[in-house]
Structure 1
């Protein structure tokens, strides 16, 4: 809808741009130091009988205004930047999506204003957070631990693939700040991938220790 509104306003924008250009050309083509004709000499009037000692002076006429040179209409007007025009991001996400259709970025991080999609993402985020709480408290099963760390591994791998593809295709036209953010994302997910095996093994060890404690507690209750 925003794009249609922008397109409808495009003719008015072109006209306004042309007027601004014409005004700039007019200002630039004027002589920087216009020469003003010399004022005529002061004319003295003879003394009148009623004022024998007074002398009247006629003020000089105002200098004529310099006529601006005609505009050069044979050259097309140069484009004038419009700060209010919508900014177009250099990354074409449709190109990336065609190359990586199953990447988790589209489910987790792609821009969207769809309320249903935002609600789905929120529900999925809550589910993984709840599972992470079970992993930390050693209440998750072995299958749940494998599922959680497998998901985290897939997320990092997919985000590395996505960011690498963006830099490969659009890195030369990306603003320096955006390019740095993609590079930072790659480095962060590589660090997480390197840490996941030890974290997963630690979660399995804590679950096993928890099960031993529970088994010992059950046996203590059953012993006379």
Structure 2
């Protein structure tokens, strides 16, 4: 009789155990797996209570922008340069041009944005470079050699004259850097002028040697 009674109560015990196990499994699940409500309800923020006497006040959050340094009113304000304001150069080229109207500086190096002037400069540069190539290869005639070195002599003389005129007119107002550049230009062109006679003589000798070789080659071709 006792066995039969225990068998009759067994299904109820199994169901109760199943419910207990299910409750434990649900309670032990990680938070990520638990079901969250579809709509989150925002709880009202309670006002901060006043800190009790003697308690430390929390530090304020850091500022996003630095606090500017206090202005020193005992010093005069420093001048601020405006990048949009053009700086006036002390040299007035029109004054120099009136003194040296035929100087080659105006054709070769004076500041300009005129397309016609720039085109003439490029054409002149090509001409003298081609002539220099003939001088180096001993293909230039005597007249072309003299023309080339005469042009180089004229350029150096004119640039020396131009630099000296600027220094004599504006030496007291020229910045040190500009004064040094004009003085350097004078020294460089003086050095070139001193080297030109030997260079011209060397070009003439190369031409004569080339002519002798050509004449010997022509005579060799004519011999039986």
User: When the two structures are superposed, what TM-score results if normalisation uses the length of structure 2?
Assistant: 0.64
Larger Cα Rg: Structure 1 or Structure 2? Answer: 2
The Cα offsets for residues 160-215 of structure 1, whole Å up to 9 and x where unpaired, read as 00000000000111110010000000000000000000000000000000000000
* Structure 2 unmatched ranges of 5 or more: 1-51, 54-76
Could you list the structure 1 runs, at least 4 aligned residues long, displaced by more than 6 angstroms after superposition: none
Within 2, Cα distance between the matches of 1:196 and 1:172?
33
Distance 2:80 2:201 in 1: 57
Match of 1:102 in 2: 102
* C-alpha distance in 2 between matches for 1:203 and 1:144: 11
1:205 corresponds in structure 2 to 205
Partner of 1:119: 119
In the other structure, the counterpart of 2:192 is: 192
- Matches of 1:81 and 1:96 in 2, distance apart? 33
Matched, 1:215 2:215: yes
Aligned-residue offset at 1:137: 0.2
SS at match of 2:188: helix
Structure with the greater relative contact order (CA < 8 A, sep ≥ 6): 1 or 2? 2
Partners of 2:202 and 2:127 in 1: how far apart? 21
Q: CA RMSD in A?
A: 1.7
What secondary structure is seen at the aligned counterpart in 2 of 1:148?
A: helix
SS, match of residue 91 in structure 1: coil
Change (3 A) 1:81 1:168: farther
**1:159 counterpart residue number:** 159
Aligned to 2:143: 143
Q: Determine the structure 1 residue equivalent to 2:92.
A: 92
Q: Report the 3-state secondary structure (helix = DSSP H, G, I; strand = E; otherwise coil) of the residue aligned with 1:209.
A: helix
SS in 1 for 2:192: helix
Structure 2 SS opposite 1:128: helix
Q: Give, in whole Å, the separation in 2 of the partners of 1:161 and 1:144.
A: 26
TM-score (norm 1): 0.64
Q: Counterparts of 2:122 and 2:171 in 1: how far apart (Å)?
A: 31
